[in-house]
Each structure stands twice: as C-alpha cells, then as structure tokens.
Amino acid sequence: MLPVPYAAFGHVVFLCTADAGSKIVTPLTKDGAYAAGLYYIISGRSEVTVVETGERLQDRTAGWLNSEKNSIAATTGNIQCLYPEETRWVCVPYVSNPKGVPSVTSLLVEEGQSENFENGSNIFLVDGQLSIGEKTFTGPTQIRVRKGDVVATALNRVLALRFPTL
C-alpha cells in the first residue's frame, strides 16, 4: 500500500489502497477507538478484529466514516483490518495535520441525484463525477463554492467529504 497525498482545504489527506487479502494492524486509544485519525471507505470492505481479544467489530464498507460511527472496541490494544477484496479509502491522519484533524461529514450521491451546496461549502470529491453548471468535477479534487449556492448532479455514484465551511 502506497498512500497518495492530496490537499484538502488546508489539510493533508491520503488516498489509500489495500490489495485483496492484505492486513494492517493499528493501535487503539485507551478508549478502544481508532487512534490514527479519520478514515472514509470508498470501495471494498475491511473486516476488523481486536488482535489481543479476537473481538470482531462491524465491517467497514463504502461510505463508512469512522467519526460518524460508534464502533469502539471493548478494550484497548490493536485492531487488525483484513481486506477480503481490494479496498480504497481516504485517511486524514493526525500525524500529517499538526493543526488538527477537521470535523468532516460524509456525502454519498447516487447517479442522477442532485445535492445542494451552499455558498462557502468545501467539498472534497473523493470518487465519482459531479456536474455543477457547465463544469464537470472528477474525484479526487477539491470543490470550493464561492459564488452563491449551487446544485451538483452526480454523473455516477459519488463519495465525498464535506469540510468545514467558511
């Protein structure tokens, strides 16, 4: 796995890919939470187990943003993520963002559906294509809405993150 860095509204995010069958072990906080930062699953699946106890946590699938889920292990230790299929995700790590990890929310727009973006919105389009006016955006890319509210239409399935607005 070789993470690819991207800029996202003053923060560093990484697009990561794991091959089918690969595993990653990551430490948990003393509260049983994922310690490295935010992660947002784009495609594939991760099966998560606490190494020390064998406790099985809920699978991570497309659209999973860890800050929106209450999936905390019963104990501290390490979690093992097994990827039964090729899996892609975005990571916003604490170590690469010394000023702090932003409070983001997930956005999933199915093909043909529209989403309103208010003036001042900061959208990190992770995967897919959005049409706004006569312009098409293809992820991964930043979308800054600065000239009034807009309507974005998904040209295919879109996964994105909403960063704090101005």
Q: 110-132 in b/e burial notation, b at 16+ Cβ within 10 A?
A: eeeeebebeeebbbbbbbbbbeb
Interacting residues of 52 by C-beta distance below 8 A, sequence separation 6+: 75, 77, 78
pLDDT computed for residue 144 by the predictor: 97
pLDDT computed for residue 74 by the predictor: 75
State how far Cα 148 lies from the chain centre.
26
Distance, in Å, from the CA atom of 144 to the CA atom of 165, rounded to the nearest integer, reads: 9
Can you list the residues of the chain whose pLDDT is less than 50?
none
Phi then psi dihedrals of residue 129, to 5 deg? -130, 135
> Could you report the per-residue pLDDT of 52-93, keeping only the tens digit for each?
999 999 899 999 998 898 677 777 889 899 999 999 999 999
pLDDT computed for residue 123 by the predictor: 98
Q: Kindly report the pTM of this predicted structure.
A: 0.91
Distance, in Å, from the CA atom of 71 to the CA atom of 86, rounded to the nearest integer, reads: 22
pLDDT computed for residue 31 by the predictor: 78
